Protein backbone atom coordinates (compact mmCIF):
# COMPACT_ATOMS: atom_id res chain seq x y z
CA UNK A 1 0.00 0.00 0.00
CA UNK A 2 2.86 2.40 0.85
CA UNK A 3 4.46 1.78 -2.57
CA UNK A 4 1.17 2.49 -4.37
CA UNK A 5 0.71 5.75 -2.40
CA UNK A 6 4.27 6.79 -3.20
CA UNK A 7 3.75 6.15 -6.90
CA UNK A 8 0.51 8.14 -6.81
CA UNK A 9 2.25 11.08 -5.16
CA UNK A 10 5.09 10.96 -7.68
CA UNK A 11 2.72 10.86 -10.67
CA UNK A 12 0.62 13.69 -9.29
CA UNK A 13 3.70 15.77 -8.63
CA UNK A 14 5.23 15.06 -12.05
CA UNK A 15 2.30 16.50 -14.02
CA UNK A 16 2.68 20.12 -12.84
CA UNK A 17 6.39 19.85 -13.48
CA UNK A 18 5.81 18.67 -17.05
CA UNK A 19 3.27 21.42 -17.70
CA UNK A 20 5.71 24.00 -16.34
CA UNK A 21 8.48 22.69 -18.59
CA UNK A 22 6.19 22.86 -21.62
CA UNK A 23 5.24 26.44 -20.77
CA UNK A 24 8.94 27.32 -20.51
CA UNK A 25 9.59 25.75 -23.90
CA UNK A 26 6.70 27.72 -25.42
CA UNK A 27 8.06 30.92 -23.87
CA UNK A 28 11.46 30.24 -25.37
CA UNK A 29 9.98 29.61 -28.81
CA UNK A 30 7.76 32.71 -28.75
CA UNK A 31 10.51 35.31 -29.29
CA UNK A 32 11.75 33.40 -32.33
CA UNK A 33 8.29 33.52 -33.92
CA UNK A 34 7.98 37.22 -33.15
CA UNK A 35 11.39 37.86 -34.65
CA UNK A 36 10.33 36.08 -37.84
CA UNK A 37 7.18 38.21 -38.04
CA UNK A 38 9.19 41.38 -37.48
CA UNK A 39 11.67 40.39 -40.18
CA UNK A 40 8.87 39.66 -42.65
CA UNK A 41 7.14 42.95 -41.82
CA UNK A 42 10.35 44.93 -42.04
CA UNK A 43 11.47 43.46 -45.36
CA UNK A 44 10.30 45.73 -48.21
CA UNK A 45 8.00 44.34 -50.87
CA UNK A 46 8.96 44.86 -54.50
CA UNK A 47 5.81 45.64 -56.47
CA UNK A 48 6.26 45.52 -60.22
CA UNK A 49 4.44 47.72 -62.73
CA UNK A 50 4.41 46.77 -66.42
CA UNK A 51 2.80 48.86 -69.19
CA UNK A 52 2.50 48.85 -72.95
CA UNK A 53 0.50 51.25 -75.10
CA UNK A 54 -2.66 50.11 -76.81
CA UNK A 55 -1.30 51.29 -80.15
CA UNK A 56 1.81 49.14 -79.69
CA UNK A 57 1.52 45.51 -80.76
CA UNK A 58 3.49 44.37 -77.72
CA UNK A 59 3.17 42.20 -74.66
CA UNK A 60 4.11 42.83 -71.03
CA UNK A 61 5.75 39.40 -70.70
CA UNK A 62 9.37 40.64 -71.17
CA UNK A 63 8.82 43.32 -68.54
CA UNK A 64 7.27 40.81 -66.13
CA UNK A 65 10.25 38.47 -66.56
CA UNK A 66 12.69 41.29 -65.77
CA UNK A 67 10.66 42.40 -62.74
CA UNK A 68 10.39 38.84 -61.49
CA UNK A 69 14.16 38.39 -61.81
CA UNK A 70 14.61 41.58 -59.75
CA UNK A 71 12.60 40.02 -56.92
CA UNK A 72 9.11 41.47 -57.39
CA UNK A 73 6.43 39.58 -55.50
CA UNK A 74 3.37 41.15 -57.13
CA UNK A 75 2.72 42.58 -60.57
CA UNK A 76 0.35 45.18 -62.01
CA UNK A 77 -0.07 45.06 -65.80
CA UNK A 78 -1.62 47.78 -67.95
CA UNK A 79 -2.37 48.41 -71.61
CA UNK A 80 -2.65 52.18 -71.79
CA UNK A 81 -0.80 55.23 -73.05
CA UNK A 82 1.98 56.51 -70.83
CA UNK A 83 0.72 60.06 -71.30
CA UNK A 84 -2.62 59.29 -69.62
CA UNK A 85 -3.18 59.84 -65.93
CA UNK A 86 -6.34 57.73 -65.59
CA UNK A 87 -4.70 54.30 -65.45
CA UNK A 88 -6.63 51.98 -63.08
CA UNK A 89 -3.82 49.51 -62.37
CA UNK A 90 -1.31 52.25 -61.63
CA UNK A 91 -3.64 53.95 -59.16
CA UNK A 92 -4.50 50.59 -57.59
CA UNK A 93 -0.80 50.02 -57.04
CA UNK A 94 -0.28 53.50 -55.59
CA UNK A 95 -3.20 53.04 -53.20
CA UNK A 96 -1.74 49.78 -51.86
CA UNK A 97 1.76 51.07 -51.21
CA UNK A 98 2.94 50.73 -47.61
CA UNK A 99 6.00 52.16 -45.82
CA UNK A 100 9.11 50.34 -46.94
CA UNK A 101 7.63 49.06 -50.21
CA UNK A 102 9.38 49.68 -53.51
CA UNK A 103 7.58 50.31 -56.79
CA UNK A 104 9.67 48.81 -59.58
CA UNK A 105 9.38 49.38 -63.34
CA UNK A 106 11.38 48.05 -66.27
CA UNK A 107 12.04 51.55 -67.60
CA UNK A 108 11.23 55.03 -66.41
CA UNK A 109 8.90 55.73 -69.34
CA UNK A 110 6.83 52.66 -68.40
CA UNK A 111 5.73 54.59 -65.34
CA UNK A 112 4.87 57.77 -67.26
CA UNK A 113 5.88 59.72 -70.37
CA UNK A 114 4.74 63.01 -68.87
CA UNK A 115 7.14 64.82 -66.56
CA UNK A 116 4.24 66.40 -64.69
CA UNK A 117 2.54 63.05 -64.08
CA UNK A 118 5.87 61.43 -63.23
CA UNK A 119 6.52 63.97 -60.51
CA UNK A 120 2.99 63.50 -59.13
CA UNK A 121 3.45 59.72 -59.06
CA UNK A 122 6.80 59.97 -57.31
CA UNK A 123 5.30 62.41 -54.82
CA UNK A 124 2.58 59.89 -53.96
CA UNK A 125 5.19 57.15 -53.62
CA UNK A 126 7.23 59.33 -51.27
CA UNK A 127 4.19 60.28 -49.16
CA UNK A 128 3.40 56.56 -48.77
CA UNK A 129 6.88 56.02 -47.35
CA UNK A 130 7.83 53.86 -50.32
CA UNK A 131 10.49 54.07 -53.00
CA UNK A 132 10.83 53.70 -56.75
CA UNK A 133 13.31 51.65 -58.73
CA UNK A 134 13.93 51.64 -62.48
CA UNK A 135 15.67 48.46 -63.63
CA UNK A 136 17.02 49.61 -67.01
CA UNK A 137 18.32 53.01 -65.87
CA UNK A 138 19.46 51.55 -62.52
CA UNK A 139 17.76 54.34 -60.57
CA UNK A 140 16.75 54.12 -56.92
CA UNK A 141 14.68 56.96 -55.49
CA UNK A 142 15.76 56.16 -51.94
CA UNK A 143 19.04 57.96 -52.70
CA UNK A 144 19.58 61.65 -53.47
CA UNK A 145 21.44 60.85 -56.68
CA UNK A 146 18.60 58.57 -57.75
CA UNK A 147 16.03 61.34 -57.29
CA UNK A 148 18.17 63.74 -59.29
CA UNK A 149 18.63 61.24 -62.10
CA UNK A 150 14.89 60.56 -62.30
CA UNK A 151 14.13 64.25 -62.71
CA UNK A 152 16.74 64.54 -65.44
CA UNK A 153 15.54 61.47 -67.33
CA UNK A 154 11.94 62.61 -66.99
CA UNK A 155 12.93 65.95 -68.54
CA UNK A 156 14.58 64.18 -71.46
CA UNK A 157 11.51 61.97 -71.98
CA UNK A 158 9.24 65.03 -72.00
CA UNK A 159 11.56 66.82 -74.42
CA UNK A 160 11.61 63.84 -76.79
CA UNK A 161 7.83 63.60 -76.72
CA UNK A 162 7.53 67.32 -77.49
CA UNK A 163 9.89 66.91 -80.44
CA UNK A 164 7.84 64.01 -81.81
CA UNK A 165 4.66 66.07 -81.47
CA UNK A 166 6.25 69.01 -83.30
CA UNK A 167 7.46 66.76 -86.14
CA UNK A 168 3.98 65.25 -86.45
CA UNK A 169 2.34 68.67 -86.62
CA UNK A 170 4.88 69.82 -89.22
CA UNK A 171 4.13 66.76 -91.33
CA UNK A 172 0.39 67.38 -91.14
CA UNK A 173 0.81 71.03 -92.18
CA UNK A 174 2.96 69.97 -95.12
CA UNK A 175 0.36 67.41 -96.19
CA UNK A 176 -2.44 69.97 -96.03
CA UNK A 177 -0.38 72.40 -98.11
CA UNK A 178 -0.09 69.67 -100.77
CA UNK A 179 -3.84 69.07 -100.75
CA UNK A 180 -3.80 65.94 -98.62
CA UNK A 181 -5.87 65.66 -95.48
CA UNK A 182 -5.00 63.43 -92.58
CA UNK A 183 -7.30 61.22 -90.58
CA UNK A 184 -9.61 58.41 -91.59
CA UNK A 185 -10.66 58.19 -95.23
CA UNK A 186 -14.37 58.85 -95.89
CA UNK A 187 -16.48 55.75 -96.36
CA UNK A 188 -18.27 57.18 -99.40
CA UNK A 189 -16.70 58.91 -102.36
CA UNK A 190 -17.76 62.45 -103.35
CA UNK A 191 -19.93 61.00 -106.16
CA UNK A 192 -21.66 58.64 -103.72
CA UNK A 193 -22.23 61.49 -101.28
CA UNK A 194 -23.92 63.46 -104.06
CA UNK A 195 -26.16 60.46 -104.76
CA UNK A 196 -27.09 60.32 -101.08
CA UNK A 197 -28.24 63.95 -101.14
CA UNK A 198 -30.19 63.31 -104.37
CA UNK A 199 -31.98 60.30 -102.83
CA UNK A 200 -32.85 62.23 -99.69
CA UNK A 201 -34.24 65.06 -101.79
CA UNK A 202 -36.32 62.51 -103.72
CA UNK A 203 -37.89 61.30 -100.47
CA UNK A 204 -35.85 58.18 -99.64
CA UNK A 205 -35.41 57.55 -95.93
CA UNK A 206 -32.07 57.68 -94.17
CA UNK A 207 -32.34 54.03 -93.12
CA UNK A 208 -32.94 52.87 -96.73
CA UNK A 209 -29.99 54.84 -98.05
CA UNK A 210 -27.75 53.52 -95.25
CA UNK A 211 -28.69 49.93 -96.11
CA UNK A 212 -28.12 50.60 -99.80
CA UNK A 213 -24.59 51.93 -99.29
CA UNK A 214 -23.88 49.56 -96.37
CA UNK A 215 -23.03 52.28 -93.90
CA UNK A 216 -24.42 53.42 -90.58
CA UNK A 217 -27.19 55.99 -90.47
CA UNK A 218 -24.83 58.32 -88.63
CA UNK A 219 -22.65 58.40 -91.76
CA UNK A 220 -25.63 59.59 -93.83
CA UNK A 221 -26.40 62.24 -91.20
CA UNK A 222 -22.82 63.54 -91.32
CA UNK A 223 -22.98 63.79 -95.11
CA UNK A 224 -26.18 65.80 -94.86
CA UNK A 225 -24.63 68.10 -92.25
CA UNK A 226 -21.51 68.63 -94.37
CA UNK A 227 -23.58 69.55 -97.41
CA UNK A 228 -25.69 71.91 -95.31
CA UNK A 229 -22.53 73.65 -94.06
CA UNK A 230 -21.19 73.98 -97.60
CA UNK A 231 -24.48 75.40 -98.85
CA UNK A 232 -24.54 77.91 -96.01
CA UNK A 233 -20.98 78.97 -96.83
CA UNK A 234 -21.86 79.49 -100.49
CA UNK A 235 -24.96 81.55 -99.65
CA UNK A 236 -24.08 85.27 -99.66
Residue positions annotated with a catalytic role: 53
Q: What is the DSSP string of the chain?
A: -HHHHHHHHHHHHHHHHHHHHHHHHHHHHHHHHHHHHHHHHHSPPEEEEEEE-TTS---SHHHHHHHHHTT-SEEEEEES-TT-S--HHHHHHHHT--TT-EEEESSHHHH-S-HHHHHHHHHHHHHTT-EEEETTTTEETTSHHHHHHHHHHHHHHHHHHHHHHHHHHHHHHHHHHTT---SPPPSS-HHHHHHHHHHHHTT--HHHHHHHHT--HHHHHHHHHHHHHHHHHH--
| First CA to last CA distance, the chain | 133
Amino acid sequence: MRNERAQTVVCAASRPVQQKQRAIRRTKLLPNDMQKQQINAASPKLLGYARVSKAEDQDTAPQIEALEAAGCTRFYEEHASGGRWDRPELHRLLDRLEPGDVLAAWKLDRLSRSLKDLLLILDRVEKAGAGFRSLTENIDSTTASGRMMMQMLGSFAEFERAMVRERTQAGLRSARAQGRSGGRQPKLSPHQQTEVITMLTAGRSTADIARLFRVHRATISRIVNNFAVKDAARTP
